[in-house]
Every structure is written in structure tokens, then in C-alpha cells.
Structure 1
Amino acid sequence: MGEVPPHADRKSVWLDCDPGHDDALAIILAGYDSRLRLLGVSTVAGNQTVEKVTLNALGLLTAAGLHSIPVVQGQAKPLMRPAQICPAIHGESGLEFLDGSSMQDYAVGSPVNEKAVLYMHSCISSHAESQPVALVCTGALTNAALLVSLFPELLPKIEIVLMGGCLGTGNTGSVAEFNIQSDPEAAKIVFECGAPVTMVPLEVTHTALATPAVLQRLSVRSTPFLGLMRKLLLFFAQTYREVFSFEHPPLHDPLAVFYVACPEAFKVKRMRVDIETSSPLSAGQTVCDIWGRSPLGPNATVALEADVDSFWESMIAAVMKADMVSPLNSPKNPV
């Protein structure tokens, strides 16, 4: 990883998410990559209800030794549609393990008692100094859409990097990915807001697989925290195998964080991305103008490939840093 950059030289990140299994690792990467400075975490309904994913965020931050990172609870439902959740992949708690326990068992403290978009605006504004803050979204874009709608003056101070969408085949819809499908209207607002938008789609995240070799790298030390990380990936592996027939589970959300830390590790293309909001067959489809035929012009940078080996180097390094400070490894274990 090299020497840690001076605090002021790190890229400031706000993470907006619906903490399930891959979001948990996105939080760890944002919190421990030496190129990043995690300002806070906001939650949104998606993998589970917003109350459950907020507890998951608190539990993960506690277990990972990131106690000082604020959590604020965001929107409980999409802008115009009923809420969708995903227990088939992430379990009834949204972040549970094969033994029936869950990340909520580690939750300490409470979320910030303020409306999420108001707290996000205040925090992002105060940290957008020499460069924009990266708003990294790894769930439905409801909070982000409200933020850019209520505070258009924030647009020059942010760049939006999201895990979501697809160029072709979806996951929870034939041509739609879950995060965008959960709130298509919010996604449309975000893609058309005028801030720089980068989309890391399924085609890229499906290449970052948690293979047995990755699990082996998390077994170099026998600690409670690394044991928890292995349990997390094993649950995800089983559900992805049963639902999508993946031999090894893809780790979606940390790729968006990795893009902020290391954009040179990605092959990207500028293109027009429109969001389908009307069709009952394809609501939430990211209609990507790959060949440049749209008269509207590009509005997003779309990732096409990622250096997966570099990603795993950064991801494993972040997990190992968390392991060094995790309170789960303390003999007294106050968690």
C-alpha cells in the first residue's frame, strides 16, 4: 500500500449504502484504504428494511474498529414505489451468517438523530475543500436523489460513484440491476443532476470473485474478526450459489469504493445512460448508449473493466488493518 498520504491529501468519501454482505466490505475498504478518508455512512432501504441495515452498519463499524464514523439513517422507501428488500441473498437481518447470528449482534450506539440528507449536506459541505467529496452509493439512490434535489449548490462539491446498473443482463430483473430497479425515479434524478457520475455495473463487479484463494488469505491469522469476515463471505457464497449458480460470489459494492481510491485500475468509457421508469417489463434498466448514438450526449462514466488483482490487494490490506484494531480481538471483548 505504500506510505500513508497526509490526511489532507486523502480523497474524502461519504458512503451511502444498504449494508448487506458486500456493503460491509465496502465500509471496511473506505475506512482503511490509505488513499481515502471516510466521513460518514448513510443508510437506505434495500437489502433489508432501513432499520435493519442501519443496525448492520453500526455492527460492522463497531466490529471493524471504526467507532468514530457517524451513521445516519436515511429513506425507508423509494421516492414513488413500494419498498423492495432482498432476503434471498442477504437473509432476514440483511447481514447474517450460516450459524444464525448476524452483524446486528455487534451493534453499539445509535445513528445520528437528524434527517439523513440534512446531515449529509452539512458534512459534505464542510469537507469539500481542495477537491470534491466522493459520494459513493452502493444501494438504491433515494438519499442521493433527495440530496442533489434539495441542495443543487452541492453539485460542484461532489462526484457520485455508484455500484449499480448493467450494460446487458440484470440480476433481479431481466435487464435491471437491483439497486437501480429499487428506485428508478431516484436513479433518473441522479444521472441527470449535472454532477460527475461514474457507474460501476454488474459486468465489472461480476469479475471480483471471492474465491477459495481469497478465503485462504483471510485465514493467515486466527482471530475473531477474521473469522467473522470468513463467515460473512461463506454466507454470501451459499446464497449466490443457490440463487444465481455462481461458483464463487462476486463482491459488488467495494468496487465502487476502489474506483475512488484507484481510478487508474479501471477501463472506462463516457456514454449516455438513461433510466427506464415507465415499462413494467424493464423499469430500472440502465439504457447505455455504448455506440454514441444518443443526441443527448454523455452524462456518465461507465466502468468496463477492473484490475481485479489490484482490487483484492487493497481489499485484503484493508481487512488486515481492521483486524489489527478490532475490539473483537480484545481479550475483554467489550462488544
Structure 2
Amino acid sequence: MMGEASQPVGVKKVWLDCDPGHDDALAIILAGYDRRLKLIGVSTVAGNQTVEKVTLNALGVLTAAGLRDIPVAQGQAKPLIRAPQICPAIHGDSGLEFHDGGSMQDYAVGSPVLEKAVLYMHSCISSHAEHERVTLVCTGALTNAALLVTLFPEVLDSIEIVLMGGCMGTGNTGSVAEFNIQSDPEAAKIVFECGVPLTMVPLEVTHRALATPGVLQRLTARPTPFLQLMHKLLLFFAQTYRDVFSFEHPPLHDPLAVFYVACPEAFKVKRMRVDIETCSTLSAGQTVCDIWGQSALAPNATVALEADISTFWEAMISALLKADMVSPLKSPANPV
């Protein structure tokens, strides 16, 4: 990773707040290796699995991808007021398992920082936001982000938020609700109403970023331990998505939020009002998108409508190949 003195002009500083499952793993790698971004830290939140498990997953991804200098802060173990929910049907018991057994936790080296995530996020983001906003990319429940903007309102002038979450119509784990927002609707409401520049990359966009056989073939063209690991990761994800959602190929949700920060020109977007449903027993976590501008309330979000998926895959594959060049993996059975 480049030091502060040598950082190229125009590179955006990114903090990634996530719940590392299979697509979060690729989001971490894209944030770490896209030349337009500088990843300054990773925080974890319960979601795809418990916070302890996803924190180990984050350490495993960073180790395998040659990004061990990136600090990891363990965040909230449950939503602000609701019971926690996890997603083992898609991501397995560890939260990040492989097609032929084992998990990303097998590759974890090191430990998270001792400080609580929200405190560490605030101090780190503040130290990097002297001349420009740091982009907080959220690819899990918004619990950490909600606490950050509530406890430290001064950070509102230092960040913008780009999140993978929500939907304009059909949900995934709810009829009209997407998993990340549904996991902590109250936190999402706080974040959407806090006043920071906010961009939402919803299911309607991420469901088009499919890991097709052609994509998987590009990962097997160079039979290195790291790329083999990524291939096994995507095979597991493909099978569970096929079993649970009947998708022929799995969508990579979370890297699209990172890609938006790197390449916003690859997206078609629209400013609109987005409100979060927190009261209904039928639709808690629904992102109510005022597509036609009928709300009396001012727009509070930029919502992605379309993305150039071929350009995304070029960026994603490029990041994976860069990680492969520096990965410490020696063999699949001997991580470092």
C-alpha cells in the first residue's frame, strides 16, 4: 500500500464497514487494490455471521490477499434494538466457507485492534479527512455507521457514505426488504436521515453483477494458490445462491458499492427521497424510494439505477490479479 506522501492525486480514501461473507471478501480486495482507492481500515458488524466470525473472516481475507497492514476493528455484535439475525444458508457456518471444505478463518493471522470499532473508526477517519471527505463504504448492517454519526456528529463534515443495501421493489430476505437494511432498520433510518452525502447501491443493480462461468474461468487461467482459493469461494457462493434463491449464477452485491466509489461514471443514478420502514411487522427494513418525486421531504440519497457490469468485472479481476501477485499463500494447505 502507498504511504501518504506518495499517494496519487485523486485517489479516494475508503473505510470499509462490512460483515465478511463471500461477496464482502471481494469487496475488501477491490478496495485494497483498485488504483483509484486507498483502503485505510476495515470494521466488522454482525450480519452474515456473528461478529466474532466475520472479524476472523476479515483477517483471513486481508492475510490471503497480502493486505495485512490494513487495521481491522471489531464492531457491533447485534442491532441497535432488535434481535440479531445471521445468514448461514448462504455463507455457511463460518460465514465464509469454501466449495471443498475449510473456511477463510483458516487463513486469519493477527488480531483486531483493541479499541472498540466506532471509537477507532472516528479517530482514524478524522486523521485522514484533513482536506477531503473519507468515503465510508458500508456492505453490512448499518449499526456501526449509525453509532458513529450519533456519537460523533462532528464526523458528518468528514465523511460521505456509499452503501450496498436496500431495494426499490422486491427484496431478498424479506418480500420488500434487503438483508443489510432489514438486519437493523433503526440504524438504517439514522444513517439515511443524518444529512451526510449518501449513495445507495440496491439489489436492482447488484443482481446484475453475476459471477458467470466466464468469470470463473478467468480465475482458473492462472492456477495459483490465491486464485484457486477465490475460485473455491465463488463456487460455494454459487451453490448456496442456486439452492436458496434459484439463481443460475451468484450476484456479487458488495463489491458494487466499492466500485461506485472508484468509478461513479460507470453508474446511472437518481437523487430521491429514501425512507426506512421501522414499524411494520410485514415490511420492516423496506427502503421506501420516492422514485417519482411525490414526497414533501427533500431528497436524501443518490440511488444507483444501472451499472456498467463489464467495466466492473474488469476492475474486479484486475484487483484479484494484483492481490495474487503479492499474496503470501504458498500452497492451499500452507497459508503463509
Could you tell me the TM-score, scaled by structure 2's length? 0.97
Looking at structure 1, the residues matched to 165 and 70 of structure 2 have their Cα atoms a distance apart, in angstroms, of 24
Q: Which moved more, 1:172-181 or 1:321-330?
A: 321-330
Letter in 2 for 1:242: D
**Residue number in structure 2 paired with 1:208:** 209
8 Å contact from structure 2 (residues 225, 332) kept in 1: no
8 Å contact from structure 1 (residues 327, 333) kept in 2: no
**Residue number in structure 2 paired with 1:236:** 237
**Residue number in structure 1 paired with 2:271:** 270
Letter in 2 for 1:277: T
Letter in 2 for 1:303: A
Looking at structure 1, the residues matched to 313 and 328 of structure 2 have their Cα atoms a distance apart, in angstroms, of 24
Deviations 1:245-302 (A, max 9, x none): 1000000000000000000000000000000000000000000000000000100000
- Runs ≥4 residues deviating over 6 A: none
**Residue number in structure 1 paired with 2:138:** 137
Deviation at 1:173, TM superposition (A): 0.2
Deviations 1:45-68 (A, max 9, x none): 000000000000000000000010
Deviation at 1:333, TM superposition (A): 5.1
Looking at structure 2, the residues matched to 306 and 215 of structure 1 have their Cα atoms a distance apart, in angstroms, of 20
Alignment map for 1:11-90 (pairs within 5 Å): 11-90=12-91
**Residue number in structure 2 paired with 1:220:** 221
Could you tell me the TM-score, scaled by structure 1's length? 0.97
Deviation at 1:129, TM superposition (A): 2.6
Letter in 2 for 1:323: D
- Counterpart of 1:218 in 2: which secondary structure? helix
Looking at structure 2, the residues matched to 332 and 87 of structure 1 have their Cα atoms a distance apart, in angstroms, of 25
Looking at structure 2, the residues matched to 139 and 164 of structure 1 have their Cα atoms a distance apart, in angstroms, of 8
**Residue number in structure 2 paired with 1:189:** 190
Looking at structure 2, the residues matched to 331 and 188 of structure 1 have their Cα atoms a distance apart, in angstroms, of 43
Identity %: 84
**Residue number in structure 2 paired with 1:175:** 176
Looking at structure 2, the residues matched to 119 and 42 of structure 1 have their Cα atoms a distance apart, in angstroms, of 9
Deviation at 1:9, TM superposition (A): 3.1
8 Å contact from structure 1 (residues 47, 53) kept in 2: yes
Deviation at 1:331, TM superposition (A): 11
- Counterpart of 1:260 in 2: which secondary structure? helix
8 Å contact from structure 2 (residues 164, 257) kept in 1: yes
Deviation at 1:7, TM superposition (A): 3.5
8 Å contact from structure 2 (residues 19, 140) kept in 1: yes
**Residue number in structure 2 paired with 1:98:** 99
Looking at structure 2, the residues matched to 6 and 224 of structure 1 have their Cα atoms a distance apart, in angstroms, of 30
Letter in 2 for 1:59: G
Instruction: Name structure 2 gaps, 5 residues minimum.
Output: 1-5
Deviation at 1:329, TM superposition (A): 3.6
Deviations 1:116-173 (A, max 9, x none): 0000000000111322000000000000000000111111110000000000000000
Letter in 1 for 2:184: D
- Counterpart of 2:306 in 1: which secondary structure? strand
Deviation at 1:8, TM superposition (A): 5.0
Deviation at 1:34, TM superposition (A): 0.2
Looking at structure 1, the residues matched to 128 and 73 of structure 2 have their Cα atoms a distance apart, in angstroms, of 17
CA RMSD of aligned residues (A): 1.3
